A = this chain, B = another copy of it.
């Protein structure tokens, strides 16, 4: 252990002096250039270690025009539902992946008010690329950003305009289809759905997945109620379903929050779950875990999704080839709400 006084960060120059080489060589070693002799590398490494040298990020950025920083942009609409566990997990995945690289994560809440400021910041050379999360929202005001800055979106874009963009998404349709098929295998013969808003990709895709499963089993696909992904809307949709006069023995609800709402109505109306009506959700969040009964659902790999977004962006920045779109696999989680 050495002194405790602020040692005023050693510079590359000092490393060079101690290693007996030029600053250029130190720079090459630090940046892992292959054109350096092993001895030089060793000497520099030793000096770096001994001095506890850490490159100055600002100087590096200024000289190289690369910031080694990436922004995670959260549209305010998403921020409001920040409590959304899905989103929190995505952030975690991003941060976790980045910890293994030398990229830094800059978080930005992009409110309506400072959207111009945000654009300028992003376009002003302050970051090498950006990650834009939009989950259950149709908000793609940052779609055009992709033209001037490497961007990776979380969740597929809604508009065709952004068809050239990079994104990673969960296979909503496949997940909905799988869980609906599970309902069928559990013996349901008349399956309703409470779907999400049809102006959001997850809303659209989950509905079509349900439809695919129901149709290919030769069942009817006309029991559809629309919600807005909130528990309350799920409760309302279930009320409409129950009051509709149609019998049904299974429901696929497009997310766990709405499913939780639906469950409470079912309980209040004296319907037994799963005996009278089996219920399945989507997301795999806390709502489904704590509901009564616990909910069969489709688990979103949210941490992995965040990590993958970061990976795709970093790969692009490093000049590696990457798939434009990544579909994350989903997992069926069977719980009591369909077990009969």
Q: Which residues of A contact B (CB under 8 A)?
A: 6, 9, 52, 54, 56-59, 61-62, 67, 69, 72, 74, 79, 82-85, 87-89, 91-92, 95-96, 99, 104-109, 111, 114, 120-121, 123-126, 148, 231, 260, 286-287, 290-292
Contact = CB atoms under 8 A, between A and B. Distances in A.
Contact of A108 (B56, B99, B123, B148): B99
Contacts of A121: 54
Contacts of A74: 95
Nearest to A85: B83
Contact of A56 (B6, B85, B125): B125
A89 B83 contact: yes
Contacts of A72: 107
Protomer copies: 2
Given A87-B88, A88-B82, A88-B88, A95 B109 contact: yes
A121 B9 CA distance: 11
9 closest cross-chain pairs (CB), A and B = A54-B124, A58-B61, A88-B88, A82-B92, A58-B62, A95-B109, A105-B107, A58-B58, A83-B85
Contacts of A107: 72, 91, 95, 105-107
A92 B106 contact: no
A38 B112 CA distance: 31
A125 B290 CA distance: 45
Given A54-B123, A83-B89, A96-B109, 8 more contacts: A9-B125, A54-B125, A82-B89, A83-B88, A92-B109, A95-B107, A106-B106, A107-B107
B88 A99 contact: no
Given A62-B56, A290-B287, A99 B82 contact: no
